[in-house]
């Protein structure tokens, strides 16, 4: 019988993008629940059960540091942020505590809740990748439940087992973080339904700014 991994997990929050499509500066500094997105989501990872949290900054890193209180987290700068998300992904993995699993999250998902983080941590199995699943259009995964097959979009956050960290980081390129590794090793991925806790929506355009208003504090 499989058991949950006893290995601690470091949360990594990727917050290095310039928010070019949104046009409002770094998404990390968007106001959210009386604070900023990066502050709220970093705390979400900690509240959900991550042992510690790494925040990866890039565009406007100095402005983000000056406008936020991130003293409870390890904050690292990615000078190569403009080359794509993969460089921030590798920076975050490298900064995570040695031997820890890594839970990778994105700063532009205001709907993320501690409950989602806790569910993924509880479901993670040693030697595997655990990803949140949402029943939306996009990348679909077949999941068998109670004899029925359903389809889910594989999304964030996702947990990379400590034994896979180096391989996943090495595979990251351009704007793809773990995507290439997951596509090459689908048998290692567990997709966990989190649709009752969050929608998994990304904040990319001004038309999606309602996501900052529509998200009640989650547990």
pLDDT confidence of residue 19:
58
Residues ≥6 apart with Cβ < 8 Å to 152 = 133, 134, 135, 140, 141, 143, 191, 193, 195
Residue with tokens 């490298």: 94
- Mean pLDDT, range 147-159, rounded to an integer: 72
Percent of all residues in the chain with a pLDDT value above 90, rounded to a whole number: 54
DSSP 8-state class, residue 135: S
Query: What confidence score (pLDDT) does residue 60 get?
Result: 84
Give 113's pLDDT tier (boundaries 50, 70, 90).
very high
Average pLDDT in the 28-52 region?
Answer: 94
| Every domain of the chain and the residues it spans | 9-212
pTM value surpassing 0.95: no
- Model confidence at 212, pLDDT cuts 50, 70, 90, reads low
Task: List all residues 6 or more positions away from 50 whose beta carbon is below 8 Å from its beta carbon.
Answer: 9, 10, 11, 103, 117, 121
Q: From 3.90.550.10, 1.10.10.10, 1.10.620.20, 3.30.450.20, which CATH number describes the 9-212 domain? A: 3.90.550.10
Other C-beta atoms closer than 10 Å to the C-beta of 31 total 10
């Amino acid at each position: 019988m499989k058991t949950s991994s006893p290995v601690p997990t470091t949360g990594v929050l990727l917050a290095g993008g310039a928010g070019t499509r949104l046009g409002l500066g770094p998404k990390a500094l968007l106001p959210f629940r009386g604070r900023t997105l990066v502050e709220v989501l970093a705390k979400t990872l900690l509240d959900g059960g991550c042992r510690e949290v790494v925040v990866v900054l890039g565009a406007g890193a100095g402005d983000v540091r000056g406008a936020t209180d991130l003293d409870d987290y390890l904050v690292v700068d990615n000078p190569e942020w403009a080359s794509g998300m993969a460089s921030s992904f590798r920076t975050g993995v490298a900064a995570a505590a040695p031997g820890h699993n890594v839970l990778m999250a994105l700063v532009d998902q205001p709907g993320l809740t501690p409950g989602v983080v806790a569910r993924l941590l509880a479901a993670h199995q040693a030697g595997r990748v655990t990803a949140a699943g949402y029943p939306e259009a996009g990348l679909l995964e077949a999941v068998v439940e109670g004899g029925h097959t359903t389809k889910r979009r594989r999304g964030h956050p996702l947990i990379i087992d400590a034994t896979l960290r180096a391989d996943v980081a090495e595979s990251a390129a351009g704007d793809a973080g773990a995507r290439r590794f997951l596509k090459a090793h689908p048998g290692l991925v567990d997709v966990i339904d989190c649709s009752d806790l969050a929608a998994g929506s990304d904040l990319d355009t001004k038309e999606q700014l309602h996501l900052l208003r529509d998200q009640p504090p989650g547990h």
